[in-house]
């Protein structure tokens, strides 16, 4: 397990933030979509979920690609117009969630954010 924070950290800072635990963030997490296993990077600070267009084309041809008006801006400099969005049912160890991913034109690892990690039971939050 990778510790994002500890209960002691919370007590020392006087804050009431939740503590999130992620299982091996470097390895990522396998997510099943359309009976295909896809490894996702877990980023609890991510504002959106992304999946590269090559994965959608090669592994998820039955998932409908819908248009989007979203424009992505990373690190205050680069701008990327996504190909669209997909809304597949994702499964992790018996838990299912219908998630909307922005399909990007980059050769990158698919990305899950905090909310999606919680929905799929990939992380646990403690108060």
Per residue in 64-91, pLDDT tens? 999 999 888 776 656 678 999 999 999 9
- Quick one: 2-126 is in which CATH superfamily? Acid Proteases (2.40.70.10)
Q: Indicate the pLDDT class of residue 19, thresholds 50, 70 and 90.
A: very low
Q: What is the dihedral of CA 40, 101, 90, 22, to 10 degrees?
A: 40
The β-bridge partners of 2 are: 22
| Domain chopping of the chain, boundaries | 2-126
Full-model pTM? 0.75
Query: Which residue is listed with tokens 């992304």?
Result: 50
pLDDT recorded at residue 28: 80
Q: What percent of the chain has pLDDT over 70?
A: 72
Lookup: tokens for 71: 């424009």
């Amino acid at each position: 397990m990778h510790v994002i924070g500890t209960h002691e950290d919370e007590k020392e800072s006087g804050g009431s933030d939740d503590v999130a635990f992620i299982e091996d963030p470097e390895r990522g997490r396998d997510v099943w979509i359309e009976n295909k296993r896809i490894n996702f990077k877990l980023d609890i600070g991510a504002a959106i979920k992304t999946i590269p267009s090559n994965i959608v084309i090669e592994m998820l041809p039955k998932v409908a690609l819908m248009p989007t008006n979203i424009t992505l801006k990373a690190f205050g400099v680069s701008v990327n117009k996504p190909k669209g969005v997909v809304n597949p049912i994702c499964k992790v160890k018996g838990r299912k969630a219908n998630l909307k991913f922005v399909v990007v034109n980059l050769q990158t690892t698919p990305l899950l954010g905090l909310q999606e990690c919680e929905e799929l039971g990939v992380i646990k939050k403690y108060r």
